[in-house]
Structure 1
Amino acid sequence: MKQILTIKKVLNNNVVIAQHDVYKEVVLIGNGLGFNRTKGEPISFDKADKTFLLKDEKEKEQYVNLLPYIEENLIGFTHELLLFIEKEMGKELNEHIHVALTDHLAFAINRAKKDMQFSNPFLYEIEALYPKEYNVAQAVVQQVEDRMAISFPEGEIGFIALHIHSAVTDKSLRDINRYNILISQLVEIIEANLDLQLKKDDVDYHRLIQHLHRAIDRAHQGQPLGEENKLEEVLKKEYPVCYNLAWKLIKVMQNQLNKPVDEAEVLYLTIHLQRLLHKS
């Protein structure tokens, strides 16, 4: 069903403010959407138009305030990138990504033009945790580099992957970053206690990171793992070092998350840790 809205203000060729029956004032974003349009004109909005609708009051205000500082060709290009991300991820994006990604790309392009290099300390972890988002972010970075004739540092892929993950899961970037910092702390504890240097490109490292991430998610959602009493006795006896370290990690997670962590997580962590120790 086509929704007919009334234009209140044309902000540029790609962005208009319109009157919506349900959401009142909304921001419509689409390539060429505002071209040759005037106030009071009807404008249709439906998914076939490949138009994004910003209805959240805060996001709308932030986006409108951001526009004067962004080159108009970048706004249209970001719209194309968001359509690409949505198609590749196969999910609708939370509208906060319009503000976040437009803002992020504007700064990143500016940094690249000034040849300001920086690193992303969580790059391996992000790739291990969000492989699909990471692959899509790689393609996005390639498109930006080609279109803008610039070169991004590799860390940029990780940052864009986090924006994508945030938009498809409705998690805030703050929470995602908090979890990544916690995972890094847990990795440091593992390396110190087992006296080894984990290889970040190793498949077992990826498995450990994914398990820690899922354990944090389960704790956050209050999902139990189920009891494995017999296995616990075996692991406690066979791998006391890894078993005790697993308990230490669980305690750190509980303190940082301020939530209970299912005790059964200890068993699976012990197996991951033993695998890493055996390999070293």
Structure 2
Amino acid sequence: MTENAFNVIKWGTHMEQQLKIKKVLNNNVVIAAHPTYEEVVLIGKGIGFNRKHGDEISFDKADKTFLLSNEQEKEQYVSLLPYIDENLIDFMNDILLHIEARMGQELNQHIHVALTDHLAFAIKRAKQDLQFSNPFLLEIESLYPKEYQIAMEVVTMIYDKMAIQFPEGEVGFIALHIHSAVTDKTLREINKHNYLITHLVRLVEETMDITIDKNSVDYHRLVQHLHRAIDRVYQNEHVGDEIRLANMLKEEYPVCYNLAWKLIKVMQKQLNKPVDESEAIYLTIHLQRLTHKP
């Protein structure tokens, strides 16, 4: 069950449904027992003020509701809240609603824990003037342009609300959290793939003895193709068998063709999965565009 499903319940026929509070986490967050979904997290300004275990609360008192069916995530969320300013918890509600509306789809429940945790410590770092670089920033912007744009909007929201200026790298980190929440991929998996793409791009530069313009259209095409190629590996998809085209490219662009196979072998080793041979065709075309000097 997703948080969007809860919104249907909230604003539908069950709008006045009464729930029993199981735990008050702070003035703005409570955990309540639900007859169908067992436990739900209710978030709203002052929703937990002067309330205790066993009190009844109307479903429509919450601004946002979600499930934390994963026991480990629920424990993380409960243990995290005492260390976070209650105003931030309330503001997180606005941030998550904004992300959900802009993405036009429901978010995986884990973003409540992961993004809240990340932003709380990012704000702390910003106040202490501690900055972390993001080595995948350009790749993230190229791979997830919509998430990146929304992350920039989140950073603006934080500045407008709290007068805290985040370094540019934080936009990339927030974009990854958003992408994770809409794809159900873990941040570890996403970062692993971004590292692989960065490694492959560096390999192209070293082999071809060039410096790639990270703002060029051809660079973005290459990065996006590598990303889709990795996805195809996991989905066991094939891009087609074009033997004649492969032979032509091998003769016409031998350096790029051989480099394409070098990249494929690196991908196979890092992903520990076979890569469709036809990927060499499309990689060769991208590499030829990238390295072609008129």
Q: TM-score, normalised by structure 2?
A: 0.90
Identity of aligned residues (%): 70
Check whether the contact 1:30–1:52 (CA below 8 A) recurs between aligned residues.
Answer: no
Report whether the alignment pairs 1:224 with 2:238. Answer: yes
Give the Cα–Cα distance (whole angstroms) in 2 for the partners of residues 46 and 239 of structure 1: 64
In structure 2, the residue matched to 1:72 is 86
Report whether the alignment pairs 1:98 with 2:109. Answer: no
1:234 to 248, 252, 267: 248
In structure 2, the residue matched to 1:144 is 158
| 1:22 to partner: Cα distance | 3.7
Report whether the alignment pairs 1:27 with 2:41. Answer: yes
Give the Cα–Cα distance (whole angstroms) in 2 for the partners of residues 215 and 228 of structure 1: 16
| 1:47 to partner: Cα distance | 12
What one-letter code is carried by the residue in structure 1 that aligns with 2:275? V
| 1:230 to partner: Cα distance | 1.7
1:279–1:75 distance in 2 versus 1, CA, 3 Å: farther
In structure 1, the residue matched to 2:131 is 117
Question: What SS class does the counterpart of residue 259 from structure 2 fall into?
Answer: helix
In structure 1, the residue matched to 2:273 is 259
Check whether the contact 2:43–2:62 (CA below 8 A) recurs between aligned residues.
Answer: no
What one-letter code is carried by the residue in structure 1 that aligns with 2:165? S
* Aligned residue runs from structure 1 range 1-280, under 5 A: 1=9, 2=14, 4-45=18-59, 49-279=63-293
Give the 4+ runs in structure 1 shifted more than 4 A: 46-49
Check whether the contact 1:27–1:60 (CA below 8 A) recurs between aligned residues.
Answer: no
Q: Please give the root-mean-square deviation of Cα atoms over the aligned residues, in Å.
A: 1.8
Check whether the contact 1:243–1:266 (CA below 8 A) recurs between aligned residues.
Answer: yes
Give the Cα–Cα distance (whole angstroms) in 1 for the partners of residues 207 and 137 of structure 2: 23
Give the Cα–Cα distance (whole angstroms) in 2 for the partners of residues 119 and 49 of structure 1: 35
| 1:71 to partner: Cα distance | 0.7
* More displaced 10-residue stretch of structure 1: 243-252 or 226-235: 226-235
1:265–1:106 distance in 2 versus 1, CA, 3 Å: same
Check whether the contact 1:31–1:79 (CA below 8 A) recurs between aligned residues.
Answer: no
- Unpaired runs of 5+ in structure 1? none
Give the Cα–Cα distance (whole angstroms) in 1 for the partners of residues 160 and 293 of structure 2: 41
What one-letter code is carried by the residue in structure 1 that aligns with 2:180? S
Equivalenced residues, count: 280
Give the Cα–Cα distance (whole angstroms) in 2 for the partners of residues 19 and 33 of structure 1: 15
Give the Cα–Cα distance (whole angstroms) in 2 for the partners of residues 224 and 38 of structure 1: 57
Give the Cα–Cα distance (whole angstroms) in 1 for the partners of residues 63 and 117 of structure 2: 24
* More displaced 10-residue stretch of structure 1: 138-147 or 38-47: 38-47
What one-letter code is carried by the residue in structure 2 that aligns with 1:210? Q
Question: What SS class does the counterpart of residue 54 from structure 1 fall into?
Answer: coil
What one-letter code is carried by the residue in structure 2 that aligns with 1:72? E
| 1:14 to partner: Cα distance | 1.6
| 1:49 to partner: Cα distance | 4.7
